[in-house]
Amino acid sequence: MGKFYQYIDGYLQVELTGYGMERFLNLCMNKEFTLWEIVKGDDVYRFYISLKDFRELKPLLKKTETKIHILKKCGLPFFFYTYRKQKCFVLGMLLCLGFVYYMSLFIWDIHVSGSAYYTEDEIISYIKQAYIAPGTKIKDINSMELEEQLMEHFDEIAWISCEIKGTQLRITLTETIITNQVLVSNQPSDLVAAKDCDIVSVITRNGTPITKVNETVKKGDILISGTIHIYDDNNEVLETVYIPADGDVFGRVVYQYDDSFDMQYYEKQYSKKKRRTVLLKLWNKYYKLWNPKISYEHYDISKESYMEKLGKTFFLPFSLDIIEYKEYAPVRKEYTRQEALAKAKKRLDAKLDEFRQIGVEILENNVKIEVGNQICSASGTIVVKEKVGVPKNLQIVEEKPDE
C-alpha cells in the first residue's frame, strides 16, 4: 500500500552533490522527509523522495551548499503530464479504472475447498440457486447467514467458513467424515456434536462438560459448553464468562453402507476424432464464438474455463470456455462372479481406507456382498469410533441494565 500511495502522489529519483551532503540528510530527517533506497557513491548520494517533500528542499540545499539533480520522474502526476495532450487516451484510462472499481463491488467467482463427500459443483450450484449468484453485490452478502444455510442443507458438513476475498467468495468446510481433524475456535464457542452417536469418552480442557459417557446425542447437541457461570455463597449466578470450549469427545458412530453396480457394463473405445466449441461468457451470458456440428453418436464432454482476473482474487465477469467432444464406441461386456466380488470388495476396502487414513478406529464391519444375475450389491453398516465435537460460535446477547 505504501508503494501504491507513493505512485499516486508521485516521486523522484535524485542525485545529491556538494559540500554538506551528510548535513543535508540530517536536516531532511529533522524535517521528517521520507527518503528511501539511499545509495552512497563517489562524492554523491542517490535516493528516492516524494514529490511533495522535493518541493520543500530549496532552503536545505542553500543552507548546506549542496545541489540536487533529477534522474527519474515516477508516479501518476508525471504520467498525466506526459499524456496531457492525448485526452482520449487519458479519458479511456480513467473509464477503465472506473470500470474496474465498479466490478470490484460484486462477487464474480465462488471457490469451495475441503469437500470430499460433496462435490464442489454440487455446493456451488446450491449457493447460486438458493442464496447468491455471480454478479451479486458484496454488501448484500451475509456470510453468517450463508454458513447456517449450508450447514442445514448439507448434513455431512461439520464446520464451515465463508469469507470474501477481492471479488471471490471462498467457502472452506470440513465434513463429518473427517472430524478427527483438530478444529479450534478463537471466539467464545460451544463444542457440539457433528452427528448422531453414542458418547464413548469425554476429555474437557476448557468449558463445562454437558454430555456423559454412554449417552446418546443428536447432531448439534452441546457436548462441552463455553458458558461458565460463577456462583456466590447463596448459589446465585454472580458472573457469566464466555470462553472457547475445547476438548476431545469420541463417539460410536454407525455409517450405513450401500453400494451396487450392474453385472453388464460398457467399455469405451476412443477414436481419434474430436471437436471443440468455444464460448465467451459475459455477465453470466454465453456467446458462441465457434460451434461446429457434432455428428458423433457417442462422445465424452470435457470443459476448460479460462476466467479473467487481476491478481489472485480479483475476478472479472469475463471467461472463455472451451468444450471438447471426444468420440468413442461402446463395447458391451459382463463381469464374472469372481470379478464382481473382487470389484465390490475393492470399493468397500477403499471406503474403509478413507476412515483409516484420518485416524478413525473401525469397530465393526457388518457389510455383506451378494452377486445376482444382473446386479452385484454390498450393504450393511460400518461402526467406528471418531471425534464428534466441532466448535460452534456463541451468539452473546448483552443485557442492558435497567434504567
**Phi (first) and psi of residue 59, to 5 degrees:** -60, -35
State yes or no: pLDDT of 178 exceeds 50: no
Write out the residue range of the structural domain in which residue 324 sits.
264-333
Q: Tell me: the pLDDT tens digits for 110-148?
A: 888 887 778 888 888 888 887 777 788 888 888 888 888
Q: Do 168 and 222 belong to one domain?
A: no
**Phi (first) and psi of residue 84, to 5 degrees:** -65, -30
User: What is d(CA 325, CA 268) in angstroms, rounded to the nearest whole number?
Assistant: 14
In a domain, 58, yes or no: yes
User: What's the full length of the chain, in residues?
Assistant: 403
Q: Do 61 and 122 belong to one domain?
A: no
The amino acid present at 280, given as its one-letter code, is: L
Among 134, 112, 109, smallest CA distance to 121 is for: 112
Q: Do 8 and 36 belong to one domain?
A: yes
In a domain, 358, yes or no: yes
User: How many distinct structural domains can be found in the chain?
Assistant: 5
SS3 for 240-290, per residue?
A: EEECECEEEEEEEEEEEEEEEEECEEEEEEEEEEEEEEEEEEECCEEEEEE
Question: Cβ(325)–Cβ(301) under 8 Å?
Answer: yes
Q: Tell me: the pLDDT tens digits for 250-268?
A: 999 999 999 999 999 999 9
The CATH number that applies at residue 43 is 3.30.70.260
Q: Do 114 and 168 belong to one domain?
A: yes
153-166 b/e (C-beta count within 10 Å ≥ 16 → b): ebebbbbbebeeeb
Predicted pLDDT of residue 187: 82
pTM for this model (two decimals): 0.50
DSSP reduced 3-state for 207: coil
How much is the average pLDDT of 171-176? 80
